Amino acid sequence: MQIQISTRHGHLSEETREKIQAKVERLNRYFERLSTIEITVDLEHREVPSVDLKVSAEHKHDFVATAQAENVLASIDVVVEKMEQQLRKYKEKVQDRHRTSGHRQSEASTDTPTAGE
């Protein structure tokens, strides 16, 4: 998994970059098939920095979240929470689809009468 952190209208310290990277690495716990994570921190309005988070997963699924808060780390917390929610919901949807399709197949095989009946 590749993590790319970029900034607009300013610079982030190495310590802040490390904290951001540690927080976004946790996203892999919610969905294992993540390929790239892109974080863009916009410091144009320093009193409310904006953070954009784009996550690409296998099979061309992209997830996007944006947040603003009173400082960069608070913005990161909010955007990571939004992304966790999206990934959880997507994973549940995929798992439900697989459960449902398998369940339907087993119902179809039990409902059809056999030649001996």
- Has residue 17 been placed in a domain? yes
54 vs 48: CA distance, rounded Å:
20
CA 115 to chain centre: 50
Type and span of the H or E element at 64:
strand 61-68
Looking at the chain, list the stretches that DSSP marks H as alpha helix, in order from N- to C-terminal side.
14-25, 72-111
91 vs 29: CA distance, rounded Å:
11
- Has residue 113 been placed in a domain? no
pLDDT band (50, 70, 90) for residue 5: very high
pLDDT band (50, 70, 90) for residue 32: confident
Determine the structural domain holding residue 49 and report its residue range: 2-108
What's the CATH number where 57 sits? 3.30.160.100
Q: What is the pLDDT of residues 51-83, one digit of tens each?
A: 999 999 887 779 999 999 999 999 999 999 999
The pLDDT value recorded for residue 86 is 93
- Has residue 117 been placed in a domain? no
For the chain, the domain total comes to 1
